[in-house]
Structure 1
Amino acid sequence: MVTSAETKTERRRRMPRADRERQMMTIAEAVFSERGYAATSMDEIADRVGVSKPMIYEYFGSKEGLLVACIRQVRTELRERTAQSVIGASSPEEALRKGLQTFFRFTDDHRRSWELLLRTETAVVGPAAVAEMETARQEQIQLHMALFSAYMPDTDQRSLEAAAEILVGACERLSVWYVRHDDVTPEEAAEHIMRMTWFGLKGELEQPDDHRQ
């Protein structure tokens, strides 16, 4: 006779590897958010997933490896959603506003983990996790540069890069504030960025080349 415990064990064995990885990352993201990286126990993650701790190490190598996988999954989703949001925009201002609104909607979907990522100290996590977070920033910078280049092809690359760095820095800092205020909408947060960055940057980006030094 097959017991209930044996049935559950068999279902765990049959889950495809890709599905198991996603399940582990989803649960790990929640635990990291609840406990903080340093206080998170791999035993607790394994218990919540319903697998052995060695299985998690087999998939991800280490606790940092699991964190890196979680960050990579989040940044991939952010890149894809941001890129899709600006398709069909008729002006750089409209495209930027759509991209910003999508960014803050994204933080709504990952509020706790997003706050964790931005508050995680580099002394606590390892270099691989730090590098993954920086990759996420650089992807957003490149998206902004591509956006500006598409609408303003004659603008020099240094100005585009500076503008993109400013915008990504502003978004990151405002998102820390945003996740603490449930009454602020993505549209309102986006308008804060638009008022404080775009309308000033637009003048700089549209200057004749001989005025840019």
Structure 2
Amino acid sequence: MSKFPTQRKRNSAIPIIVITAAMVVGGGLAAGVLLVGKGTTLFGGSKWTDVGGLQELAAAQAQWLPLAACEVQYGVRAGVLAHRSTGSWKTAYVTPCGESPVSYVSVDVPPELQSREVAFNLERSSPTAPWKVMVQKDSVAFPELKRSLEQLAPLIVEQYPLELARAIESNAASERQWQESQAAERARKEAAKNSYPE
């Protein structure tokens, strides 16, 4: 009696196990993406809530109004993977409104203004719209949030235009260098092609 049929049955089970495992992993990842898309973070995070309408934040909100930007991210928050986090206490990331040659600008936060207890996103649709103040309420205490918003506003309102101009000039210089290198390469190839005797 041949052993091949038995081996074939055993081997045919392997693809089923692999497919099942792939479906379980894929389903877990899809669920994770859905959770993140709904405003939650996966590992120990909670929903982000807009607290910008609180009267106690009106003075802080007023300080941010002159900023010609549509998003500010500050603080460290949980990433999609358990051992990963995103953001920074040392840097605020500011996104310009509308089309811009740069996608975001980094503003360094001096040590005396840094807070490891605060993470927030400021969001709005245009430079004249009011800010949404997005925060994880079970992770960030209100007094810390208020203090951080009030302390960081003057720094970022002052530094952002300077950093934006610097980033735009840096991008323009990089583009010029790339164009020059492309032109030099084209000239080199043309010279190489024309260097052969007829």
Query: Please, what TM-score do these two structures have when normalized by structure 1?
Result: 0.26
| Larger helix proportion of the pair | 1
Computing the radius of gyration from Cα coordinates, the structure with the larger value is 2
| Larger strand proportion of the pair | 2
Query: Please, what TM-score do these two structures have when normalized by structure 2?
Result: 0.27
